[in-house]
Structure 1
């Protein structure tokens, strides 16, 4: 009997959309709850304290779910966790849509918060693991776009729902029930993460084997330099950013009605007007997410969002300052390999200026690029044989062929890294702009006997820029007695 044909390779963009819909459902839950609680208020006899408690409980459960979700995804697999969390989300939104008393609202908020909180880190992990290396940034940024689409859809629905009181609130949650059911159906067609599967194979665990044997990485690695500083800075940033975002998202309608004496309908109209700005900002950021310019865009977006949050504090909560907050955060919030691109540019157009631009991306300290070094590299790089080889390997046509092959490969090359059984030393420049430091984490946690040596104040040319330190680390590794 002939073997069945191999399954077609997954489309990473499809995976990014189906998994990334967690962001849509998360944003939809936050925005819908902000409006729905105000609409439920006279019918379910909700006072100000009850609205605050339910909204706060939803946010708290998001955090608890996110804390547990990553670990669950590592133990039981991305696909399995994404299925269970979405089933729970369906249950929670059904409770919220059919609420007959405050107790059902509390229960629904708990279930929705825990489920979507656990879903988000697992969905982002699946997107990052399945995305081709050259598209990771934009595919993860796509989840931000889906977040915005969730806000947009919930906002547009709210402009209509606010006219129907508690029925409008039920329609808002009913929309989330429908979307969650569709996404759940689509998620059953996703394959398991190739990286997670490779980690299981590395440990010799079968598909139904003991999940507790799987360890995709040691947490202690996050508590060592320089990763600890990055972890703390990222955590602090998102803690502060989400404090503002969730306050605006969950209490925005309540504050607007209470502090400006305007109606919910007027706020939803204002939100709808801000939609084109948010979408435009997200689309722009997706284009730069895999380029070094993302840092400048991120900084600009953060400053805009900070300005928006500062206006009501400095000038008071007026219709103007709250409207400015909405607009500026809509534009700024989306802004949450350079060296290779410059090398491609030089291969296509081998000018001296393009060479210098590429060389600057290779080092941390531009002072190392002396005139003598530039002349030496220029003479070497412009030899006919060298130019031909550069175009063949790094030209746009060659890079396009590589990306096409990667996107159609059912099992990426890095999924076989666990088969490297020899002791392996990874050396990395902390300030590498060609292959940034975070790229070291995959081989570090996948190669069984890998160890990482990070060189400070160092770019891609570690063996040149930190010659003595690099040679010392390599010699120590090569001359170390092997353990019995």
Structure 2
């Protein structure tokens, strides 16, 4: 695409700084679960209901942020939105850092949830749009490696810092604040997406009547073929898969201590065992994600996720099954789950709807997860076998969507080849998305 890449642009720099949205997302999710559900719970007298409402509210706030931030990113540009969202993120983390009671905790989880929700779809769109042809999937998957790095950093701190009680939680939130400020300063050197700029200029240059029929840039175009099918498939896949991942991320510590009678530091140390394998698997997926072999790797990852959740569902929760589900599903997630969802979300939607579509599917996913989180602690304690059985069923639904539906969807055309919603997509747009 002429004019999209120039000598002054560094795709890997963009992929790293924009992709740090994934680091901040994962580290905020895990930090909130450990700090609020573990370190803060005793000193601040937080009961199971309060913990569930705080973590659930953070997830619901993410949903609201993704919905609004994704659309604003398509309307006003990637750079403005991810800069403002990171300022809000830093402010929210600061509130969580100094909180001495539930009031500031509620304000903090609201602010951080809104911020990471707005940042993620816009930043991923920028990574994709600044990546060279043939490397777009690779760089989007690289953002998933940063998501894993965020988990490693938090669990590493939890395992080895030695701090207990409220001090332990404050150290974890201080880590988030430092990283957010550094990334914010470095992001100021990034330019606006050239692909978004070109697509926006092209849309504005067309008469309104023509633009409405030839350019996929309006919200209502998401709900017309072919984009509506991509919206449904990616949204349902991400939502069903994420309920399992979100449970481990937000409530892994709670389940470990409440159901398996383990300790917080022990849980973090055991979780760290599987992360090097997940990192290496992610490097493998980066090499194959832009090739036809991607589908076979995705199928293998999906099988591992299903097997992992079958263990606590069939054998019951114990230290063995909870560790197994973390390690096995973590390996499977390197080739499926959020990694492949992010790639599909770039490939299946046109430029001026890309962040909007991701915002919608992320909002739906996090809203479902947030509502589920409100009752997770109580439900997991009172109906343990049913709880894990439902999570296994959801993994099977996600597998069916990813293996049977998504491969049938057409990829979006490049911005210089706008497609009319009333005409069939040409052969070049019907390449499999998986």
TM-score by length of 2: 0.75
Query: Where in structure 2 are the equivalents of 1:351-370 lying within 5 Å?
Result: none
State the Cα distance separating 1:269 from its structure 2 match. 0.9
Matched, 1:18 2:8: no
Q: Go from structure 1 to structure 2 and tell me whether the alpha carbon gap of 1:172 and 1:40 turns closer, same or farther (over 3 Å shift).
A: same
User: 8 Å contact 2:225–2:421 — kept in the other structure?
Assistant: no
Show CA shifts across 1:357-383 (max 9, x none). Answer: xxxxxxxxxxxxxxxxxxxxxxxxxxx
Q: Go from structure 1 to structure 2 and tell me whether the alpha carbon gap of 1:46 and 1:285 turns closer, same or farther (over 3 Å shift).
A: same
Q: How many residues align?
A: 348
1:443 aligns to what? 416
Q: Report the secondary structure of 2:68's partner residue.
A: helix
State the Cα distance separating 1:143 from its structure 2 match. 0.8
Query: Where in structure 2 are the equivalents of 1:144-155 lying within 5 Å?
Result: 144-155=144-155
| Distance of 2:294 and 2:158 partners within structure 1 | 33
1:31 aligns to what? 30
Q: Go from structure 1 to structure 2 and tell me whether the alpha carbon gap of 1:456 and 1:226 turns closer, same or farther (over 3 Å shift).
A: farther
User: 8 Å contact 1:74–1:216 — kept in the other structure?
Assistant: no
TM-score by length of 1: 0.68
| Distance of 2:106 and 2:290 partners within structure 1 | 41
Q: Aligned Cα RMSD in Å?
A: 2.6
| Distance of 2:130 and 2:51 partners within structure 1 | 40
2:424 aligns to what? 453
Give 4+ residue runs of structure 1 displaced > 4 Å after superposition: 449-452, 455-460
| Distance of 1:307 and 1:52 partners within structure 2 | 27
Q: Go from structure 1 to structure 2 and tell me whether the alpha carbon gap of 1:198 and 1:454 turns closer, same or farther (over 3 Å shift).
A: closer
2:164 aligns to what? 164
Q: Report the secondary structure of 2:425's partner residue.
A: strand
2:113 aligns to what? 113
Q: Report the secondary structure of 1:42's partner residue.
A: coil
State the Cα distance separating 1:458 from its structure 2 match. 10
User: 8 Å contact 1:22–1:120 — kept in the other structure?
Assistant: yes
Show CA shifts across 1:134-174 (max 9, x none). Answer: 10000000111000000111110111346322111101010
Q: Report the secondary structure of 1:133's partner residue.
A: coil
User: 8 Å contact 1:19–1:127 — kept in the other structure?
Assistant: yes
Show CA shifts across 1:191-234 (max 9, x none). Answer: 001122113433559xxxxxxxxx86134444344443332121
Q: Go from structure 1 to structure 2 and tell me whether the alpha carbon gap of 1:452 and 1:132 turns closer, same or farther (over 3 Å shift).
A: farther
User: Which stretch shows the higher mean deviation, 16-25 or 275-284?
Assistant: 275-284
Q: Identify which of structures 1 and 2 has the higher relative contact order when contacts are C-alpha pairs closer than 8 Å and 6+ apart.
A: 2
Matched, 1:318 2:318: yes
1:64 aligns to what? 64
Matched, 1:265 2:265: yes
| Distance of 1:325 and 1:241 partners within structure 2 | 14
State the Cα distance separating 1:442 from its structure 2 match. 2.8
| Distance of 1:287 and 1:69 partners within structure 2 | 31
Matched, 1:140 2:140: yes
State the Cα distance separating 1:451 from its structure 2 match. 7.0
State the Cα distance separating 1:441 from its structure 2 match. 5.2
1:375 aligns to what? none
2:104 aligns to what? 104
State the Cα distance separating 1:123 from its structure 2 match. 0.3
5+ residue gaps, structure 2: 1-5, 206-214, 337-349, 352-404
Query: Where in structure 2 are the equivalents of 1:399-414 lying within 5 Å?
Result: none
| Distance of 2:415 and 2:203 partners within structure 1 | 16
| Distance of 2:148 and 2:139 partners within structure 1 | 15
Show CA shifts across 1:310-340 (max 9, x none). Answer: 221211111111010110121011223xxxx
1:47 aligns to what? 47
User: 8 Å contact 1:40–1:165 — kept in the other structure?
Assistant: yes
| Distance of 1:105 and 1:438 partners within structure 2 | 42
Q: Go from structure 1 to structure 2 and tell me whether the alpha carbon gap of 1:13 and 1:457 turns closer, same or farther (over 3 Å shift).
A: closer
5+ residue gaps, structure 1: 1-6, 206-214, 337-413, 416-430, 461-484
Q: Report the secondary structure of 2:42's partner residue.
A: helix
| Distance of 1:60 and 1:161 partners within structure 2 | 31
